[in-house]
Structure 1
Amino acid sequence: MRLGALTLPSPHPLGERLPAVYTEDGFTQRFTEALDEVLAPVFTALDGFAAHLDPRTAPEDFLELLAHWVALDVGEGWTPAQRRDLVASAVRLHRWRGTRRGLVEHVRLLSGGEVEVVDSGACTSTDQPGQPLPETGPPSVRVVVRVADPESVDRTRLASAVAGAVPAHVAVEVEVVGQ
């Protein structure tokens, strides 16, 4: 949670904007100074609002809200840098969601490594009409992640992210290896 400064100078003092007849009145100046004190945090928040909407500059406690706005589940335990990368890449991730390319991109952002996805395939066919289709087994996806330090990757969290990115009926296997 962010805490504001005890007193903020107003970027737009109301007393200076009044007609000349009011600038000499002590009561009016004290009254507008009190209003300035109340409005200064509002002006400061509004002036910095654009920075809150950019995942690269948003405060850490605001990243979760940004992630919800772009329909992205960043989950617990990821570093702020990983969360920022995910939120900044949300449009691209949504565009390729459900594809090999989308899965590679998502895992690469989370792990920082090279990603290889081996899919069991989703379509079977035969070149002989009326013949039974070949057996393919249950659908599965195997993700191999190559990183410099395999111990630095949380395999459980990564496997959970991969399972959330593929259809529910697809079995997931995640392997993290050194480069």
Structure 2
Amino acid sequence: MRGSVDGLGSSAPLGPRLPAVFADDDLAQRFVAGLDEVLAPILNVLDCLDTYFDPALTPVDFAQWLGTWVGAETDGSESEPLLRAAVAAAADLHRVRGTRRGLSQAVRLAFGAEPEITESGGAAWSARPRGP
């Protein structure tokens, strides 16, 4: 779990947004300063929310969750670079799943080796049950 940053300022402090009658009220300013301290981490995450959905930039714990969200086939024991690569490749791998290209990409991602696939991809079929 990620911790908080001490002294993190709010990107949108509430004090200046109060009505003029509360601008010089010390109690109101201290109260909203407390709210600013509580809301600062949330607002800072929302300010850079797009980076949380980029596998290369997101924090590792969020990358693991993002992997479950996009269907990346990970087991939690892979290294951080491999996890990020699996999350980034998940959509393309699902698109080509079951094809020679998809199998090749999955093996390359999981083992780091270039596979040699010799299956032709051809299939025999018949309109009648049990064949011709």
Q: TM-score normalised to the size of structure 1?
A: 0.63
Distance 1:91 1:25 in 2: 54
CA-to-partner distance for each residue in 1:41-61, whole Å, 9 max, x for gaps? 111121232211111111111
Counterparts of 1:61-100 in structure 2, within 5 Å, are 61-100=61-100
In proportion to residue count, which structure has more helix?
A: 2
Larger Rg: 1 or 2? 1
Amino acid at match of 2:50: A
Q: Does the C-alpha gap of structure 1 residues 47 and 124 become closer, same or farther in structure 2, counting only changes over 3 Å?
A: same
Distance 2:110 2:79 in 1: 9
Distance 2:116 2:77 in 1: 24
Partner of 1:60: 60
Amino acid at match of 1:46: L
Instruction: Count how many residue pairs are aligned between Structure 1 and Structure 2.
Output: 127
Distance 1:6 1:45 in 2: 15
CA-to-partner distance for each residue in 1:100-129, whole Å, 9 max, x for gaps? 11010111122333221233866358xxxx
- Point out where structure 1 has 5 or more consecutive residues left out of the alignment: 126-131, 134-179
Q: CA deviation at 1:27?
A: 1.2
Partner of 2:111: 111
In proportion to residue count, which structure has more strand?
A: 1
Does residue 13 of structure 1 match 2:10? no
CA RMSD of aligned residues (A): 2.2
Q: CA deviation at 1:95?
A: 0.8
State, as a whole percentage, how many aligned pairs show the same letter.
Answer: 43
Q: TM-score normalised to the size of structure 2?
A: 0.83
